[in-house]
Structure formats: structure tokens, C-alpha cells
Amino acid sequence: MLLSCETVGGDSRHALPAAGAIEILHNFTLVHDDVMDNASLRRGRPTVHTKWDTNTAILTGDQMAACAYEMLLRCKTSRIRGVVEVFTRAFNEVCEGQGLDEEFETRRNVGLPDYLQMIAKKTGRVIASCAEMGGIIGGGSGREVTALRRFGEYLGLAFQIKDDLLDVTGNVHEFGKTIGGDIREGKKTFLLLRAYERARGKEKEMLGRVMTGRGGGQSTVIAVRRIYENLGILDEAERTIDRCTRQAGRELAKLPRRRSRDLLLWLSEQLRLRSA
């Protein structure tokens, strides 16, 4: 958000309260996501519901959401209404995205387009809103703000698909979460849905069991990864991440050449290459 504000010629200090608000909102979603996903670790540390209990985690998230709005309203800008509208839309769509994610756990007919719509709301909207709000606070034109929002949308897709990939290929010490957790939980990720489209015979039967939450333990994780490798799914995921990152870069190219714009481009590249 701060870099987006500077990219349109604004003072990033004016965006600090909004940046703090979106950070608090993001952490609120993580606290509640960990409850829903039964996750015991977040960045290598015990999750809130694990260290304390589920009720504490729910109340913590609720209060964080309230604190986020309290901080947002400290933002000094003549365009505060637009900022609050973008923030509220992000909050709403994140909840919609999480609802779809939960719904997908019991739906059998989930396709890749459904998944992409879900992550556009759950992950993409938060990142896009950061860029959009920064552009608004910085006094950007409609064209500049739109380019920043679309940059964030593409970056969000790349980020989430990279997360899906790291769940299978990452190192638990770097990733900070259990490797193969999505497979054990039967989560319908980019990898699983694309593999299910391509698989045949026994491989398709196994993936079908995983999709219904009957995957099993570590042996299933190893077997599913082997299927992904055989079908070229890991390579396809990498190509999709690369393509979304390039599309994000093309949106940035519509903005004035500034150091902050170059840093946004650098950030998108680092997210593409990350191992955690």
C-alpha cells in the first residue's frame, strides 16, 4: 500500500493508518482460517487456537476486525469514503471467498474456474485492495488506481497458487506449516483440481478419495505428489505463477516510472521465487 501510494506521487506517511488497518485485517483472517483449517502451526509457531483455545481465537479475530476499522478511520485523506468502501469490499469478499473454500470441502463438482474465483476473493482481493487504497490515498487518477488494483489481482492469484505449490514442494522449516496439509485435508487446490482433470484410472480414483477428505497420511501425500509429477502439474503451476506475475508487471508498466514502482515489480518477482 505504501509503495502504491508513492507510485502515484503521494506521501506514503498518509497511507500508514490504512496500511496498519489492512495488516490487522489480514491477521484476523489468518487467526480464523487456522481454526477452520485445523492448522496447528503458522510460520513455525503454534496457532492461537492451539496455544489457547478455539473461543479465544474467535474473539481475538473479532476484536482485530474492530481494531482494523478504528485504525482505518485515522487515515488523513479527502478521499476517505473511497478508502473505506474499498476496505469494506475487501472484508466482505474475503469472507465470501472463505465461505466458498469451506463449501468446496463437501462439493464434488468443483472445477478449476470455481477455484480461481474463490482465490480471487479470498487472497486476490486483499492484495488488490492494498494497491487500490494506496493509489486512492496518493491522489492517483482513475486509470492509475485501476492499474494498481489489477496489479494486485494478478499478484494475488500468483501468490495463492504458489502457496498451493509450496504445500507439496516446500520445506517445513522454511514454509512454517505442515507439508502436504492440503492433501491430508482434501483441500481442492489448483494442483489437485488440475490433476483430477487429467488423471485416468487408478490415479483418478485416488485423487477422488483425496477430494472427499479420505486421503490418509504421509503415504498418500507421497503418492499424490508422484501423480502431480507424472502429469506435469507442478510444472504447470509454475508456468501459471509466472504468467500471472508477468500480467501484474504489465499493469505496473502503465504507471509512471518511479523507484516505488520498481520496488513493486521487485516484490512481485520475490513472491514468485519465494520458498516460504
Mean pLDDT of the chain: 90
In this structure, the number of other CB atoms found within 10 A of the CB of residue 12 comes to 18
Q: Is the pLDDT of residue 70 over 90?
A: yes
Over residues 246-268, the mean pLDDT reads 95
**Given the C-alpha cell 502436504, which residue does it identify?**
180
Question: 160: Cβ–Cβ under 8 A, 6 or more apart, which residues?
Answer: 119, 122, 123, 124, 190
Cell of 2: 505504501
Spatial CA neighbour of 134 closest among 248, 254, 17, 29: 17
**Given a cut of 80, is residue 248 above it in pLDDT?**
yes
Output 89-95 pairs: Cβ under 8 A, ≥24 positions apart.
Answer: 89/125, 89/129, 90/22, 90/25, 90/125, 90/126, 90/128, 90/129, 91/25, 91/65, 93/121, 93/122, 93/125, 94/25, 94/29, 94/121, 94/122, 94/125, 94/126
191 assigned to some structural domain: yes
pLDDT tens for 163-191 read 999 999 876 555 555 678 888 888 889 99
pLDDT for position 176 = 53
Residue 107 sits in a domain whose CATH number is: 1.10.600.10
Query: Range of 16's domain?
Result: 10-273
In the predicted structure, residue 214 carries a pLDDT above the cut 80: no
Q: Rounded CA gap, 196 and 177, in Å?
A: 24
Beta strand extents in 34-122 (DSSP E only): 41-42, 45-46
Task: Kindly state the DSSP code that residue 123 receives in the 8-state scheme.
Answer: I
Nearby residues of 275 by Cβ (< 8 Å), 6 or more positions away:
166, 170, 171, 174, 175
> Is 99 a domain residue?
yes
State what percent of residues in the chain have pLDDT above 70: 96
For the segment 37-51, the average pLDDT, to the nearest whole number, is: 83
Residue 28 lies in a domain: yes
Q: What integer is the mean pLDDT of 140-149?
A: 96
What pTM, to 2 d.p., does this model score? 0.87
Query: Looking at the domain assignment, is residue 266 inside a domain?
Result: yes
3 inside domain: no
Examine residue 89 and state whether it is found in any structural domain, yes or no.
yes
In a domain, 1, yes or no: no
How far is Cα of residue 159 from the mean position of the Cα atoms in its chain?
6
3-state secondary structure of 42: strand
Count up the domains in the chain and report the number. 1
The pLDDT value recorded for residue 48 is 87
Distance of alpha carbon 25 from alpha carbon 242, whole angstroms = 28
